């Protein structure tokens, strides 16, 4: 398994912001998006005012680029019972880096204007369970250490290990 070069998304061309916590291997961006749409996700452009671009340092630290796709999904409260506020949603940003699709997924709370992440780790687990419904995919939870742990100081928790989703060998 080759190392992941990018482990943080960056906000407004500067400081590290959200952790990369999902990696797809051997799966195309179109296939990932088709699966997400089938699971009730929708393109974030439908709610453009509440969708923001993040960038990764690809192809180099100077030349950064925004996500290739971003989608959102309303929270299903019965699946994540500790989430009670109605103005919350799942949000994922995806980048095609050639041999992999890397993604940052989180729950965020809408504000006017903008939004902010309130959890990374629990939504990574929630998303992993959804992906297990795809019989073509193999889900390896917390399988790759990306050295992007976040804990304490009131910040949303991330354990620093990304979930790998790859094509199942038939």
Q: How far apart are CA 52 and CA 67, in angstroms?
A: 10
159 is a site residue for Ca ion (CB under 5 A): yes
Q: Does 161 bind Ca ion (CB under 5 A)?
A: yes
x-marked contacts with Ca ion along 109-138 as a string, rule CB under 5 A: ---------------x--------------
Strand 137-145 relative to strand 161-167, pairing: antiparallel
Q: Which is nearer to Ca ion, 96 or 142 (CB)?
A: 142
Q: State residue 31 phi and psi, 5-degree precision.
A: -70, -40
Residue of the chain from 25, 138, 142, 145 that contacts Ca ion (CB under 5 A): 142
Q: What 8-state DSSP symbol labels residue 149? A: -
Pairing relationship of beta strands 22-25 and 161-167 according to DSSP bridges: parallel
Under rule CB under 5 A, residue 7 binds Ca ion:
no
The answer to whether residue 106 forms part of the interface with Ca ion (CB under 5 A) is: no
């Amino acid at each position: 398994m080759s190392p992941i070069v990018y482990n943080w998304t960056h906000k407004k061309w500067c400081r590290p912001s959200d952790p990369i916590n999902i990696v797809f291997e051997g799966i195309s961006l179109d296939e990932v998006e088709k699966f997400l749409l089938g699971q009730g996700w929708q393109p974030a452009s439908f709610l453009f005012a509440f969708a923001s671009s993040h960038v990764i340092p690809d192809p180099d630290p100077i030349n950064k680029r925004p996500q290739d796709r971003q989608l959102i999904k309303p929270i299903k409260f019965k699946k994540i019972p500790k989430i009670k506020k109605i103005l919350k949603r799942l949000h994922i940003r995806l980048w095609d880096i050639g041999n992999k699709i890397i993604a940052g997924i989180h729950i965020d709370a809408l504000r006017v204007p903008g939004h902010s992440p309130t959890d990374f780790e629990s939504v990574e687990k929630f998303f992993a369970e959804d992906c297990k419904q795809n019989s073509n995919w193999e889900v390896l939870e917390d399988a790759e250490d990306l050295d992007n742990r976040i804990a304490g100081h009131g910040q949303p928790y991330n354990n620093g290990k990304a979930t790998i989703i790859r094509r199942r060998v038939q």
